[in-house]
Structure 1
């Protein structure tokens, strides 16, 4: 596995607050094109590598850091503990996207301990995961593991240069289907030696040092997440779950961003809450919510800006119901609830929307203030401003009376207050 010298540690101001900090190091092919990235969790300094940290790393990579910016469409290599190999978090990702790096067992492991891991490896491969092992798996005791290897990583700092040839030959004899990755490549001589032996994948400082990706995160309140978990456990209807998603913009934002990440492996974009719930299904929705709960902060209560976003969403939904077809009302809600996403994330709106899939009509309203929802958003903002002239102008543009708008605004405020009180 990659040593601590390859793992950058966060500075004293990192790993706190609302940031997911993930390091990545490129794995390159013989032409130095990026084949994939190995990811390391840097959100907490000096933390132990556990099944929970494995789950958090994958979850943060997909839900928070914006997997397109982090790894694009490249293969992701994740270090795993044996406990994490049977974790529910693996059900949330597309197997084609991830290689699981698996360590050998401790020095006290018996032949029975080693053999007992084989059914787990077989089940993971049946689901489509590829497994990577290090050179310790070339020891005689682990020969049974090699049939499951898609990759063997050879740490060039772990053996003398003259052993390179015999080790490569051993891999090809006992794991003929496995690709060899030469890691900890730090010099041109090391690269050339392994390349002459036919190795085609390389990782190390000679090519790229691990780079830090620090992403702003917004996390729902734990109380809201627990409500979602309870709904799922009660096998609530899609409509009930959709109602809860409408309650908390941070919850719905994270769900849409997660389900549209490259790690989830969908061929089409999901742009509505109902569609997301139906595609994810109750079992995976439970897994997602449980992981979200474990990675959320205890003081993660929605700020005032989140409350305002909920009011906007409901107000736009009510106003749209006066003039637009029913199927457009959900999109009107999304426009309102995401209209403050830039404030919630602390980044420009165009950047905020890069990590979540939304219909073109919604994007047009949020980014360019145009399209069918733009006049509704203008009116919603006018309701907050106290500017009577702007209010009258926006209401007239939609041919809505003051009474209609004021009643809708009052109902939206009451609805948002009732949600906050639950």
Structure 2
């Protein structure tokens, strides 16, 4: 009776995943979207690259269409530090990121690696005592601060002077006389003066003569647009995760929620290898990732990812690709519990293996390249990439289940395999209701 029920369920539910092979999940479907990021070089007086300004872009068109400063900045952060990766975007250079007063006061900024980022205070920011206190706190945490589009030292700009490391001078808005006067007023500033919107050799030469150290503008390079394709984030799962975090749910509940958002787990793991976190030890399970990253960090990044999704017009929807990854992970867990009842280590790592086995499809990059960038235990890497160890064997079984309607694998009971498939699908569908 159980076998017949399982076959009926398989025909109605499993088809969604098994009849749709991983090869069918190609770019161009609604499960994917393209993420864009603008990047403009900043150079020193010898025209050597020292930093990039990171700019919001919503398409390949090299223009900024910003309707909401907070959403635009969160999209920039997500695309630079998650989708594209800080190594590809910045290398060993600094990244300037525009921040509004709203975002400056939000602890979302605490997710950023302070050694890689310059927070660029927009000229629209209203200076208040709480803001000054917050800026002082950010500096204590190791962040560099810059003033954007400075054209005069009014009361607000003077209040910011002791707290910033870099002053960006807007050449377009200044006459030659005004520029000389402003630089003279900044003679005692201990930080770096940066001339922005430098369009000609004459402007560059004049700024160097005045003692300005860094430069940005069309004379050196126009912004370029970087892009990558990624699976659309599962907003349902992220909202569920945030709800659990807000209600102080225990780590086991958080782990269950994260298992339904494999893309979020990958993002968090990727970030843990680049951001300034205390521990960067390899992890082998979702539970370990929660312990290493910490609840506060997971909450901030989940909120940021939701903001960024809104900024890039990603529609909230169920993503079959992410559900397939969750299903594969759950099948791995159930197989581990059945086949290795005494191996707690195998059971705890099984879901992670199932998820990582689809990482190349999730992020549209070579599997070995992505996994090498993650803080994953070597045994897990060998299981995914080489099929080694007990987990590698269970992964082969799991992939066979997806490719065969009624798998008959030597050494495995067919009814047990069908039961595992059914329970995994039931789990994913019940969690998404």
TM-score, normalised on structure 2?
0.79
What corresponds to 2:164 in structure 1? 149
What corresponds to 2:55 in structure 1? 40
> Higher mean Cα deviation, 318-327 or 147-156?
318-327
Could you list the per-position Cα deviations for residues 183-234 of structure 1 after superposition, in whole angstroms to 9, with x for gaps in the alignment? 2222333333333333332212222221111122334333222211121122
Alpha-carbon distance in 2 for matches of 1:340, 1:391? 23
Could you list the per-position Cα deviations for residues 332-367 of structure 1 after superposition, in whole angstroms to 9, with x for gaps in the alignment? 221212322333334443455466443333333433
Contact kept, 8 Å, 2:98 with 2:121, in 1: the verdict is yes
Once the 2 structures are TM-superposed, how far is the Cα of residue 63 of structure 1 from its aligned partner? 2.8
When residues 284 and 116 of structure 1 are mapped into structure 2, their CA distance, relative to the original with a 3 A threshold, is closer
What corresponds to 1:127 in structure 2? 141
Alpha-carbon distance in 2 for matches of 1:160, 1:53? 31
For residue 216 of structure 1, give the secondary structure of its aligned residue in structure 2: strand
Corresponding residue to 1:252 among 238, 241, 265: 265
Aligned length: 393
Question: Would you say 1:169 and 2:184 are equivalent positions?
Answer: yes
Once the 2 structures are TM-superposed, how far is the Cα of residue 151 of structure 1 from its aligned partner? 0.5
What corresponds to 1:310 in structure 2? 326
Question: Would you say 1:68 and 2:87 are equivalent positions?
Answer: yes
Alpha-carbon distance in 2 for matches of 1:85, 1:142? 16
Alpha-carbon distance in 1 for matches of 2:176, 2:355? 59
What corresponds to 1:364 in structure 2? 382
Aligned 1:176-187 pairs, distance under 5 A: 177-187=190-200
What corresponds to 2:397 in structure 1? 379
Question: Would you say 1:56 and 2:75 are equivalent positions?
Answer: yes
Alpha-carbon distance in 1 for matches of 2:380, 2:300? 29
Alpha-carbon distance in 1 for matches of 2:108, 2:134? 15
What corresponds to 1:211 in structure 2? 224
When residues 116 and 92 of structure 1 are mapped into structure 2, their CA distance, relative to the original with a 3 A threshold, is closer
Could you list the per-position Cα deviations for residues 269-291 of structure 1 after superposition, in whole angstroms to 9, with x for gaps in the alignment? 55342233223333333222222
Alpha-carbon distance in 2 for matches of 1:162, 1:57? 36
Contact kept, 8 Å, 1:114 with 1:142, in 2: the verdict is no
- What's the RMSD between the two structures over aligned residues? 3.2
What corresponds to 1:339 in structure 2? 357
Alpha-carbon distance in 2 for matches of 1:233, 1:293? 15
Could you list the per-position Cα deviations for residues 162-184 of structure 1 after superposition, in whole angstroms to 9, with x for gaps in the alignment? 555443332122x2x21111222
Could you list the per-position Cα deviations for residues 106-152 of structure 1 after superposition, in whole angstroms to 9, with x for gaps in the alignment? 9xx8xxx6667533433332333222114335246632321122101
Once the 2 structures are TM-superposed, how far is the Cα of residue 35 of structure 1 from its aligned partner? 1.7
Contact kept, 8 Å, 1:246 with 1:310, in 2: the verdict is yes
When residues 299 and 146 of structure 1 are mapped into structure 2, their CA distance, relative to the original with a 3 A threshold, is closer
> Higher mean Cα deviation, 125-134 or 32-41?
125-134
Question: Would you say 1:197 and 2:210 are equivalent positions?
Answer: yes
Once the 2 structures are TM-superposed, how far is the Cα of residue 240 of structure 1 from its aligned partner? 1.4
Q: Considering Cα pairs closer than 8 Å and 6+ residues apart, tell me whether 1 or 2 has the greater RCO.
A: 2
TM-score, normalised on structure 1?
0.81
Once the 2 structures are TM-superposed, how far is the Cα of residue 39 of structure 1 from its aligned partner? 0.9
Aligned 1:262-301 pairs, distance under 5 A: 262-265=274-277, 268=280, 271=283, 272-296=285-309, 299-301=315-317
Unaligned runs of 5+ in 1: 1-12
Question: Would you say 1:416 and 2:428 are equivalent positions?
Answer: yes
Once the 2 structures are TM-superposed, how far is the Cα of residue 24 of structure 1 from its aligned partner? 1.0
Unaligned runs of 5+ in 2: 1-27
Once the 2 structures are TM-superposed, how far is the Cα of residue 379 of structure 1 from its aligned partner? 1.4
